[in-house]
Structure 1
Amino acid sequence: MKRVYICSRFHADENHTKEENIHRAFFACAVALERGYAPFAPHLIYPNCLDDDDPQERSIGLAAGNAWLAACDELWQWGATVSEGMAAEIRLAQELNIPVRIYNSIGIPKEKWNGVKLADEVGYTGNGD
């Protein structure tokens, strides 16, 4: 089973609440599991045992996430908008030659954006169909 690192927004922005972002990360993990991957989303774990508002504890969480990223087979950027933290994770994946796959927030791969099939169409699986 391939390991996939879920890279998605955590903090709220002008368009999405923190709760919406957490929901999207859980959805990304569910999609990965359905497709036969073993997902890891550090922003769903570490903020529960570290204070993300404390710079020292945030640094520890980021370092732990990077250690997991280095052990993954792929990084999935989940959502078109990239935060500063996501950008750092993507750069690290590229430096480590870990493939980066880009999905929108409902799981459509970038190569299918504006394509013929939509996520709600019969027969769309999100696996390149």
Structure 2
Amino acid sequence: MGIDKKNHEGYLDKTAHDAIRNIQREEKAADKKAAYLPLVYVCSPYAGDIETNTEKAKKYSRFAMDQGTIPVTPHLLYPQFMDDTNKDEREKAMHFNYVLLGKCKEVWVFGGVITHGMAREISIARKRHMVIRWFTQDMKEVEEYA
């Protein structure tokens, strides 16, 4: 919908036109900002007790969502159709993880224990100078794990 540059009497009124256009731009920008949710990479153990670790990853993802982010949790997705015990498929899944990691604003590390796969993800995040936040398995934020 265009804004008429003329007033109700038919005279050019650029001041009113520009003011209305600026208000519309500000409203549009505010709507975009309100709709923005950052992508957060959820980094937590998967290997070992896969059933328990999957349930924990779901809780961590829910926590991240409740904090106003869009959680990206690849180890909840790729094992649905890829075989983690197949070396080639695992490497391909890890490559997918690194691509997704690069799309995220932050990395949130959960659980207190760093697995080999997590260490690789954290190393890549550090090289990319990403924000890394550390959480216990009870989702309490802490300083970096020792």
For the aligned pair, the TM-score class normalised by the smaller chain equals 0.7 to 0.9
Question: Which residue of the other structure, out of 13, 20, 23, is the alignment partner of 2:52?
Answer: 20
Please list the CA deviations of residues 56-81 of structure 1 after superposition, one character each: whole Å capped at 9, or x if unmatched.
11111000010000010000001110
Larger radius of gyration: 2
- The one-letter code of the counterpart of 2:120 is A
Provide the C-alpha distance between the structure 2 equivalents of 1:49 and 1:18, rounded to a whole number of angstroms. 15
Tell whether 2:64 aligns with 1:55. no
Q: Shift of the alpha carbon at 1:88? A: 0.3
Tell whether 2:112 aligns with 1:105. no
Matched residue, 1:76:
108
Specify which structure has the higher proportion of helix.
2
Instruction: Give the % identical residues.
Output: 30
Question: Which residue of the other structure, out of 70, 82, 90, is the alignment partner of 2:122?
Answer: 90
Provide the C-alpha distance between the structure 2 equivalents of 1:55 and 1:19, rounded to a whole number of angstroms. 20
Q: Which secondary structure state, in structure 2, belongs to the residue aligned with residue 91 of structure 1? A: helix
Q: Shift of the alpha carbon at 1:19? A: 1.1
Tell whether 2:45 aligns with 1:9. yes
Provide the C-alpha distance between the structure 1 equivalents of 2:133 and 2:75, rounded to a whole number of angstroms. 18
- TM-score norm. by structure 2 comes to 0.72
Provide the C-alpha distance between the structure 2 equivalents of 1:43 and 1:58, rounded to a whole number of angstroms. 11
Please list the CA deviations of residues 84-126 of structure 1 after superposition, one character each: whole Å capped at 9, or x if unmatched.
0000000000011111100000110005xxxxxxxxxxxxxxx
> What RMSD in Å do the two structures reach over aligned CA positions?
0.8
The alignment of Structure 1 onto Structure 2 pairs a total of residues equal to 107
Q: Structure 1 unaligned runs (5+)?
A: 112-129
Q: Which secondary structure state, in structure 2, belongs to the residue aligned with residue 45 of structure 1? A: helix
Q: Shift of the alpha carbon at 1:20? A: 1.1
Provide the C-alpha distance between the structure 2 equivalents of 1:20 and 1:58, rounded to a whole number of angstroms. 20
Provide the C-alpha distance between the structure 2 equivalents of 1:21 and 1:52, rounded to a whole number of angstroms. 14
Provide the C-alpha distance between the structure 1 equivalents of 2:66 and 2:100, rounded to a whole number of angstroms. 21
Provide the C-alpha distance between the structure 2 equivalents of 1:67 and 1:28, rounded to a whole number of angstroms. 21
Provide the C-alpha distance between the structure 2 equivalents of 1:48 and 1:30, rounded to a whole number of angstroms. 19
